């Protein structure tokens, strides 16, 4: 996972910008949790300094400092929850747009 120290990065999926991250923003935390493949591409917008933290480092932190490890994982859970809520809202909005006929304005009013 990576934490942005300075600069900005853009998170993209299939060429569409999903998010813009600045200092304190992080990405790649899903791989710490599930070892899955990448779900998006992250590109630096400007010179960007990041802190890289691997799964072994997170596991070591949890063994040495369990309270801090819980706080880190809790933060991951909160961010992932926010992202899931946002994605769910976007899916619902897209579904609603598809349900509304594009010709609504041309339907004549009949009393």
- Measure the CA–CA gap between 97 and 104, rounded to whole angstroms: 12
* Contact call for residues 3 and 24 (beta carbons, < 8 A): yes
Tell me, what DSSP letter sits at residue 109? P
| pLDDT (0 to 100) of residue 72 | 84
- Measure the CA–CA gap between 99 and 83, rounded to whole angstroms: 24
Q: What is the CATH architecture assignment of 2-99? A: Sandwich (2.60)
Expressed in percent and rounded to 5, the helix, strand and coil fractions of the chain are 50, 25, 30
What are the residues whose beta carbons fall under 8 Å from the beta carbon of 63, sequence distance 6 or more? Answer: 69
58-84 residue pLDDT tens: 889 889 999 998 898 888 888 888 888
| pLDDT (0 to 100) of residue 84 | 85
Q: How confident is the model at residue 35 (pLDDT cuts 50, 70, 90)?
A: confident
Determine which helix (DSSP H) or strand (DSSP E) holds 92, and give its type and residue range: helix 66-99
| pLDDT (0 to 100) of residue 20 | 92
| % of the chain beyond a pLDDT of 70 | 89
- Taking CA 90 as the corner, what is the angle to CA 89 and CA 93, rounded to the nearest 5 degrees? 85
């Amino acid at each position: 996972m990576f934490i942005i120290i300075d600069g900005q990065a853009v998170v993209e999926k299939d060429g569409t910008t999903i998010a813009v991250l600045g200092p304190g923003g992080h990405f790649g935390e899903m791989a710490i949790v599930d070892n899955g493949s990448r779900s998006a591409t992250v590109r630096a917008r400007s010179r960007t300094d990041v802190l890289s933290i691997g799964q072994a480092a997170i596991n070591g932190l949890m063994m040495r400092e369990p309270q801090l490890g819980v706080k880190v994982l809790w933060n991951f859970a909160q961010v992932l929850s926010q992202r899931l809520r946002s994605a769910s809202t976007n899916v619902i909005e897209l579904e609603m747009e598809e349900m509304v006929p594009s010709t609504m304005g041309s339907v004549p009013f009949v009393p």
